[in-house]
Chain A
């Protein structure tokens, strides 16, 4: 009997996964077809296989649009997963990489690298930016975590995150003051957040890293469920609590750090997507949540990118503006509905 119920639930979950995957494929095709140059949908499919009649269309799709779509998917997966595991780690429905200042930490890392290169012989490359961002987010996350143990309520933790954001912002301003205009400008563009700046050679770093983070998150799904029950239950179930915390911190820093490094700080995806997912499948079982959070994160990011490219305009909106416009009201709604938030 138990086995039947379990298998039934598994089948139901698989159906949602398959449906969501098709949804993402569909969104990806829309994302590919929208841009400043109109390309007929059929030609886009042809271009993907390298045999469009128009050489320019071919190169637009392969060199510009496809990397951007892949980036959107990868970033959506990374930020949503890091949001999910942070909400579980902090047992706090409002936790997320941006809210807790982890993205700010990554920014500081990048700022130090970009603007510090005037005085120090630092090499600004894809890899070094990634390392700087990951280190920055790791440091902030470690500090927040060490303080979070003393703060039990949601609000204090959020204020802590805000304070970190401001402090880091101040640090960056000071850096800017002492830097030359070129590197300041380079840094500012980076903070707008962009999916289109990522090239194929950078995607080769971005995608495998996020894939590793994704697999790592899936592999700790079961301990995450028990962590939800509380520390005592986790320890008495044989979980090494300290090690699990370090693993979660490491995964989050890498996922949030690497995306922030390439695309700038992108707000609200990490905190909002786990809630959207819970609204869709109404469970907090991580065995089922992790994969769906990743998929829905990819979908939401694609939608944001589609909105950012307002059809008919040559310019696209900064991606951060779009995610904030949709993310902020969602969080406000969650706070107002606070009573329901225990169900996470």
Chain B
């Protein structure tokens, strides 16, 4: 590893509030152009770590350095040119337009009382092109949807023009399309503009797909850092997402409640159909006591299925009908 590519480094860092230590002895590295997703349950200290690394709260012990210089030696205005943030804070500035907010993002670069210059306009133009929000410029913040607002706040972070962007749960409250769109956007920012992003999130699937590295946080355990694939293979991920009642399948990203489908069941169908039938049977916790065979085949928009039980056979064309039939069995 080339040591020059490390942009943020922490040594023996302890984080927390007041006298309450949440985490101690953190030795973390964040490299240039890297996307890191911070995963862990609610309350594990993700926000505290983000806030400490971005200089919003003081570390309890240890040190953080940026580009080899101690974080505490940076003035707030120097830091503003390096680090920008996207928080989950509820914004009261509802009457500001998107352009006003982006202009406010240029604050660290604007001399006192000066009018915005060429560079400010160019920077804002770049950010809105990247985030695809040109059509929102004249809108007020309170008129935006959650997804639009999140993109605006990401654009604001880009406009601030630092090499580091720290985002606290940027996909929270968003629908699936917007979650994917935001994560892809963040990935592109890192790749195309060589910026480093640290993102706290609960979106394991998206993190697996878009992050260069994951930082796994768990109660009373050290942070585990590594590429998503390594952590999956080494089982570190499943340890974080453990639960006594169910398993999390990393490959299908499906939650499975183990031990329901018994050996009595036989499904003959294409892989896709088999997947969906199993999905439905899992949900109703179907556990046959006698031997049962389901044969299914897809034709046009229908699923032709046939269920054989005790030499009786039943047929139907939707999974809905299949589920109703199976529920009627004792």
Contact = CB atoms under 8 A, between A and B. Distances in A.
Contact of A285 (B90, B96, B113): B96
Given A6-B99, A222-B107, A238 B89 contact: no
Contacts of B95: 278, 282-285, 343-344
A235 B89 CA distance: 13
Contacts of B128: 2
A235 B76 contact: yes
Contact of A226 (B78, B107, B142): B107
B85 A232 contact: yes
A68 B78 CA distance: 49
A237 B56 CA distance: 11
Interface string A1-25: 1110110010000000000000000
B54 interface: yes
Interface string B80-97: 110111010111111111
A9 B113 CA distance: 18
A52 interface: no
B137 interface: yes
B289 to A, nearest CB: 58
Nearest to A285: B100
Residue of B94, B137, B140 contacting most chain A CB atoms (<10 Å): B94
A239 B76 contact: yes
Interface string B132-150: 0010011010100000000
B125 interface: yes
A172 B94 CA distance: 41
Given A225-B93, A232-B56, A237-B104, A2 B80 contact: no
B268 to A, nearest CB: 57
A204 interface: no
A231 B101 CA distance: 15
A58 to B, nearest CB: 42
Interface of A: 1-3, 5-6, 9, 91, 219, 222-223, 225-226, 228-233, 235-240, 278, 282-285, 342-344
Nearest to A241: B76
Contact of B96 (A5, A235, A283): A283
Interface residues of B, number: 46
B208 to A, nearest CB: 29
A284 B107 contact: no
Interface in B246-262: none
A285 B107 contact: no
B110 interface: yes
B196 interface: no
A236 B121 contact: no
A225 B138 contact: no
Contact of A283 (B56, B76, B97, B160): B97
B83 to A, nearest CB: 6
Contacts of A219: 112-113
B288 interface: no
11 contacts: A2-B99, A3-B121, A9-B99, A222-B107, A226-B104, A229-B92, A230-B89, A231-B89, A237-B80, A238-B107, A283-B96
A290 to B, nearest CB: 13
Contacts of B54: 236
Nearest to A9: B99
B91 A2 contact: no
A278 B95 CA distance: 9
Contacts of A228: 91-93, 96
Nearest to A230: B89
A236 B84 contact: yes
Contacts of B105: 237
Nearest to B143: A343
Contacts of A1: 125, 134
A233 B85 contact: yes
Contacts of B49: none
A135 B110 CA distance: 35
B79 interface: yes
